[in-house]
């Protein structure tokens, strides 16, 4: 696969294309009720899950890179071996989970407005790996592909 391509262009089979189409629908899940949902191994990278309820959800091995998890309820969620690199966890509850994601999983704490701007800039980062909010500046960060 060509790393310069986006996820849709990297689909090798019809099944890959179907999975990517389904994943695109997950990008806009603000205030979704996913209580007790099995999301093991699910590609939720760059998903906007702000204000959603994921209490008791199974997230083992899920990809939540770059996801917006601001004010999301993760009470009793299982998330071992999941990828939260650069996921926004501001006001995520409970606070001990938020702290764990920041301290051990590479999650970040930014405002919703900053996350929206970062998404508009296609999740670009500067040479030091910091978010670039200036349109077109920086290089694309590969959240999930």
Q: Which tens digits make up the pLDDT trace of 45-82? A: 999 999 999 999 999 999 999 999 999 999 999 999 99
Distance CA(75)–CA(78), nearest Å, equals 9
Is 145 within the bounds of a domain?
no
Distance CA(113)–CA(67), nearest Å, equals 14
Is 144 within the bounds of a domain?
no
Is 3 within the bounds of a domain?
no
C-alpha distance from residue 43 to each of 20, 33, 54, 114, 135 (Å):
9, 18, 15, 22, 26
Domain count, the chain: 1
Is 132 within the bounds of a domain?
no
pTM of the model: 0.83
What pLDDT, in 10s, does the model give residues 103-141? 999 999 999 999 999 999 999 999 988 898 888 889 989
Q: Among candidates 93, 123, 89, 124, which has minimal Cα distance to 105?
A: 89
pLDDT band at 7 (very low <50, low <70, confident <90, very high): low
Is 137 within the bounds of a domain?
no
Is 115 within the bounds of a domain?
yes
Is 52 within the bounds of a domain?
yes
CA atoms within 13 A on the CB side of 3: 5
Is 94 within the bounds of a domain?
yes
Residues written for the chain: 145
Distance CA(144)–CA(137), nearest Å, equals 20
Distance CA(47)–CA(28), nearest Å, equals 6
The residue segments making up the domain with residue 68 are 24-119
């Amino acid at each position: 696969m060509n790393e310069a391509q986006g996820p849709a262009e990297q689909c090798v089979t019809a099944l890959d294309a179907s999975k990517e189409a389904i994943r695109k629908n997950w990008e806009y899940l603000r205030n979704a009720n996913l209580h007790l949902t099995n999301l093991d191994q699910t590609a939720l990278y760059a998903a906007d899950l702000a204000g959603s309820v994921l209490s008791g959800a199974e997230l083992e091995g899920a990809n939540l890179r770059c996801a917006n998890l601001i004010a999301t309820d993760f009470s009793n969620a299982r998330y071992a071996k999941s990828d939260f690199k650069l996921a926004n966890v501001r006001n995520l509850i409970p606070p001990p989970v938020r702290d764990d994601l920041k301290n051990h999983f590479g999650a970040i704490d930014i405002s919703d407005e900053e996350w929206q701007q970062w998404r508009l800039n296609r999740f670009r980062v500067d040479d030091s790996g910091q978010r670039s909010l200036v349109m077109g500046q920086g290089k694309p960060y590969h959240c999930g592909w």
